[in-house]
Chain A
Amino acid sequence: MTKSLLLVGVGGQGTILVSKILSEGLLEEGYDVKMAEIHGMSQRGGSVTTQIRFGDKVYSPTVNKGEADVLVSFEKIEALRYIPMLKKSGTLIINEEEIWPLPVLAGMEEYPEGVMEEIKEKLDNIVSVDARSIAEEIGEPRSANIVMLGLMVKALGIDKIDWISKIKHFLPERFHEANIKAFEKGLSL
């Protein structure tokens, strides 16, 4: 049975790194894996989405509307934007961070109020977390993405895979300790 994951966030949040770690781990476990990333024109600050599909045999890397088993959003309004991609029985994992897009910063548009309330009212399965605060407590704010990885691994029930060695493989040694803590914290939530 093929599972479809959609990771969405803002350029610079580390969604692509998490997708890489996840895909490598799944491949090693023996799954057929396809992963696709789409990023727009800007180096920072634009919408970034990655799609991961895994199962016995996967053909297309593309996740369609209403098809994602798990939607992982690293930012609140990005969740809002991509929720139509989620299956009705799917799970939303959401980092309750607000990153204002330029039209909001420049005062041309409003960052909407009550995003979490709306999401919680409409969706059945939600895991929400303040990953940035958790990462700050650990002492490495940039490990928020790895907190999210821990949550994903738990939600997908793929915690038998040796994720620690994958994290070590993809990150420089000086970040190992903090990110392993971040992963374990995410897994325990």
Chain B
Amino acid sequence: MKKLLTGNEAIARGAYEAGCHVATAYPGTPSTEILENVSTYQEIYSEWSTNEKVAMEVAAGASIAGARSMVAMKHVGLNVAADPLYTIAYEGVNGGLVVITADEPGMHSSQNEQDNRLTAVHAKVALMEPSDSQECKDYIKKAFEISEEYDTPVLFKVTTRICHSKSAVELEDRVEVPVREYIKDPKKYIMVPAHSKVKHIEMEEERIPRLQEFSNTTELNRIEWNDRKIGIVTSGASYVHAKEVFGDTVSYLKVGFSWPLPDAKFKEFAAGVEKIYVIEENEPYMEKHIKAMGIECTGKEIFSVCGEINPQIIREAILGEKPEDGYSMDVVAPSRPPALCAGCPHRGIFFEMSKHKNKINVTSDIGCYTLGAMAPLNVGDTVICMGAGISAGIGFDKVNRIAGREKKVFGVVGDSTFFHSGMTGLVDAVYNKSNMVTVILDNRITAMTGHQENPGTGKSISGVESPQIDLIALVKAIGIKDENLRVIDPYDMDANKEAVKAAIAADEPFVIITKQPCALIKDVMRKRANLYSQVNQDKCRKCKTCLKIGCPAISMKDNVVSIDTTMCNGCEVCVQVCPFDAIESFGKEVN
């Protein structure tokens, strides 16, 4: 049966058909839906792990214990998981181990566009790159086989275009692969120097040459001979874009197994075509390798290292064909940047912090609250990576003190991010006597990636009840004193005000935990469906204070301020900030 699947759905299906037993992940665009889909298969144990390092280690342990295991993450997640990856590469596997990295050329929802093919080179793990959904499914099954045959983890690289594009996939049945026997083997699984030295030599002298031979001969690296004037070496999504432009008029070397690279096929291809173009997104990974072999080719001379590749870019670069003249408009569309939703529980405390702009610096983090840095709130000095909201704040605070700046540092993280890698930062803040303030925005969900459960929500990936990690007890156990802790409802502007004020005045590590679930959680939407606020036009003096909170439900048109009641969820932040009591609340909560 053929079904339209996204790359992510196809990867999940592939894991199911391959007899995978354990799958782990931390959510991150564009990879999130892989585990969401895996969790619908009862045959596979799946979990949202606390972070990518934990996810990688859970999967590695499962593989050593004998099960086919898979771990999925976005590209920057692989940095977090790099530590176990580089050493599990020495140890090898028992049950097959597949590591999925979802890279994001073009950065639609990411902080960088690193090319994780280079991680495969550095960690010395086999690398595969599918080009569409059918290949996602087929390659995953192949990846488990390669992992077991060559005793190596397999890095499986996809990109946003592949993860989030749908194409037809032929479904097959699951083949049960029994959990392999576990035999204690310290020389393989205990990486102390004496063992690692042996494993490294083994890897260089046995495994890698065997993988090289496989790469040279496998059909995953396929030459399509057509006209031989132009030969295109390509992989991943670039392959389908190239096929779209040239169809069967040029020859292709499609690289699906890309570490080690297929040297023999490169030579064969070079001998058979007049001119080689290398089309690959981001880094000139294959291009540099081909050039180092002494083969002439053209790549990043005509393609950018930055951003995605598409058919038009290829057409222009190789054929010199400009796009047809389309329509051009004189009226310019205003930008539509991402924004905190109407009723978002983060808005109140951000507005309160924005009032102290001259007294504070804000080190922010990865999540919806990143959007607090956008106008009109403009709350945020830095965003680096998961967890840096707290840790970078520690360094910022130290320097503010060294430089004699009278500024308090507020580090902002969400609940899921706090569990991911914020906790270690808070331990550091307490241990090293930082004066900073940590604001944990607990909205009971991993929101930005589309609502995944986390250790604070009380539910597992499959919706089953789980122990809920007590954030307040945890923060106290780390060493935050009662007088330096505020647990508040961020819809309550008086509470926001008091907490921010007390935090600025404190001279010890201080924590504010805001507790209010994400406005888009289904049950929250149901309960608040009838709540809304409206502007009393008789009282409104057009002072525009309510516009400064940046709520998409509030607008001023023809000098009249109004609230879109279908968008409004009655959070009442605007009601409280209005200096003239001109905004009124209506409706009752549904039980």
Q: Residues of A with Cβ closer than 8 Å to B?
A: 10, 23-24, 27, 32-47, 58-62, 64-67, 77-78, 80-81, 83-88, 100-112, 114-115, 118-119, 122-123, 141
Chain A residues closer than 8 Å to B335, beta-carbon distance = 101, 103, 109
For B167, the closest partner residue in chain A by CB is A34
Chain A residues closer than 8 Å to B375, beta-carbon distance = 102-103, 106, 108
Tally chain B residues at the interface, Cβ within 8 Å: 59
Among A38, A39, A40, A65, which residue has its beta carbon within 8 angstroms of that of B323?
A: A65
**Docked-complex contact A40 and B108, CB < 8 angstroms:** yes
**Docked-complex contact B331 and A114, CB < 8 angstroms:** yes
Complexed CA–CA distance, A108 and B341 (Å):
18
Complexed CA–CA distance, A100 and B553 (Å):
9
Complexed CA–CA distance, A141 and B567 (Å):
13
**Docked-complex contact B167 and A61, CB < 8 angstroms:** yes
Chain A residues closer than 8 Å to B447, beta-carbon distance = 43
The answer to whether residues A115 and B327 also contact, given A59-B241, A103-B375 and a CB cut-off of 8 A, is no
Best-surrounded residue of B338, B551, B554 (most CB of chain A within 10 A): B338
Chain B residues closer than 8 Å to A102, beta-carbon distance = 336-337, 339, 374-376, 550, 552
**Docked-complex contact A61 and B547, CB < 8 angstroms:** no
Among A41, A106, A115, A118, which residue has its beta carbon within 8 angstroms of that of B376?
A: A106
Which residues of chain B (419-453) have a CB below 8 Å from chain A? 447-448, 450
Complexed CA–CA distance, A86 and B376 (Å):
33
**Docked-complex contact B311 and A77, CB < 8 angstroms:** no
For A108, the closest partner residue in chain B by CB is B375
- B317 interfacial contact with A, CB 8 Å: no
The answer to whether residues A105 and B310 also contact, given A41-B448, A42-B339, A87-B324 and a CB cut-off of 8 A, is no
- B2 interfacial contact with A, CB 8 Å: yes
The answer to whether residues A27 and B4 also contact, given A42-B371, A106-B375, A106-B376 and a CB cut-off of 8 A, is yes
B262-299: contact bitstring with A at CB < 8 Å (1 yes, 0 no)? 00000000000000000000000000000000000000
Given contacts A44-B341, A58-B167, 10 further A-B contacts (CB under 8 A): A23-B4, A40-B109, A41-B338, A42-B339, A59-B240, A62-B244, A64-B323, A84-B329, A85-B326, A88-B324
B203-243: contact bitstring with A at CB < 8 Å (1 yes, 0 no)? 00000000000000000000000000000000000001101
Shortest C-beta distance, B26 to chain A (Å), equals 17
Shortest C-beta distance, A93 to chain B (Å), equals 15
For A118, the closest partner residue in chain B by CB is B331
Main secondary structure of the interface of A (DSSP, over half): mixed
Which residues of chain B (314-369) have a CB below 8 Å from chain A? 323-342, 368
Chain B residues closer than 8 Å to A47, beta-carbon distance = 336
Shortest C-beta distance, A176 to chain B (Å), equals 20
- B468 interfacial contact with A, CB 8 Å: no
For B244, the closest partner residue in chain A by CB is A60
Q: Residues of B with Cβ closer than 8 Å to A?
A: 2, 4, 108-109, 132, 160-161, 164-168, 240-241, 243-244, 310-312, 323-342, 368, 370-371, 374-376, 447-448, 450, 520, 544, 547-548, 550-552, 554-556, 566
**Docked-complex contact B327 and A61, CB < 8 angstroms:** no
The 8 closest A-B pairs by CB, nearest first: A42-B338, A66-B326, A60-B244, A64-B312, A101-B336, A59-B243, A36-B165, A77-B333
**Docked-complex contact A41 and B552, CB < 8 angstroms:** no
Complexed CA–CA distance, A45 and B368 (Å):
13
Shortest C-beta distance, A10 to chain B (Å), equals 7
Among A27, A32, A64, A111, which residue has its beta carbon within 8 angstroms of that of B310?
A: A64
Chain A residues closer than 8 Å to B161, beta-carbon distance = 36, 61-62
Chain B residues closer than 8 Å to A67, beta-carbon distance = 312, 323-324
**Docked-complex contact B325 and A88, CB < 8 angstroms:** yes
Complexed CA–CA distance, A46 and B335 (Å):
10
For B553, the closest partner residue in chain A by CB is A105
Shortest C-beta distance, B499 to chain A (Å), equals 25
**Docked-complex contact B544 and A107, CB < 8 angstroms:** yes
Q: List 21 A-B contacts (CB under 8 A).
A: A24-B4, A33-B4, A35-B166, A37-B164, A40-B109, A41-B109, A42-B340, A42-B371, A42-B448, A46-B336, A59-B240, A60-B243, A61-B166, A61-B240, A81-B336, A86-B327, A105-B550, A106-B548, A108-B376, A112-B331, A114-B331
Chain B residues closer than 8 Å to A109, beta-carbon distance = 334-335
Complexed CA–CA distance, A118 and B556 (Å):
24
**Docked-complex contact B547 and A107, CB < 8 angstroms:** yes
**Docked-complex contact B333 and A62, CB < 8 angstroms:** no
**Docked-complex contact A43 and B520, CB < 8 angstroms:** yes
**Docked-complex contact A141 and B164, CB < 8 angstroms:** no
Chain A residues closer than 8 Å to B167, beta-carbon distance = 33-35, 58, 61
**Docked-complex contact A33 and B334, CB < 8 angstroms:** no
The answer to whether residues A112 and B556 also contact, given A61-B161, A65-B323 and a CB cut-off of 8 A, is no
**Docked-complex contact B332 and A112, CB < 8 angstroms:** yes
**Docked-complex contact B326 and A87, CB < 8 angstroms:** yes
For B566, the closest partner residue in chain A by CB is A141
Chain B residues closer than 8 Å to A24, beta-carbon distance = 4
Chain B residues closer than 8 Å to A106, beta-carbon distance = 375-376, 547-548, 550
Chain A residues closer than 8 Å to B327, beta-carbon distance = 83-84, 86, 88, 122-123
For A124, the closest partner residue in chain B by CB is B327
Complexed CA–CA distance, A85 and B312 (Å):
12
Shortest C-beta distance, A3 to chain B (Å), equals 14
Chain B residues closer than 8 Å to A111, beta-carbon distance = 334
For A113, the closest partner residue in chain B by CB is B331
The answer to whether residues A110 and B334 also contact, given A34-B166, A118-B329 and a CB cut-off of 8 A, is yes
Shortest C-beta distance, B365 to chain A (Å), equals 13
**Docked-complex contact A45 and B310, CB < 8 angstroms:** no
Shortest C-beta distance, A21 to chain B (Å), equals 11
Chain A residues closer than 8 Å to B551, beta-carbon distance = 105
Chain B residues closer than 8 Å to A80, beta-carbon distance = 329, 331-333
Complexed CA–CA distance, A78 and B333 (Å):
7
Shortest C-beta distance, B58 to chain A (Å), equals 28
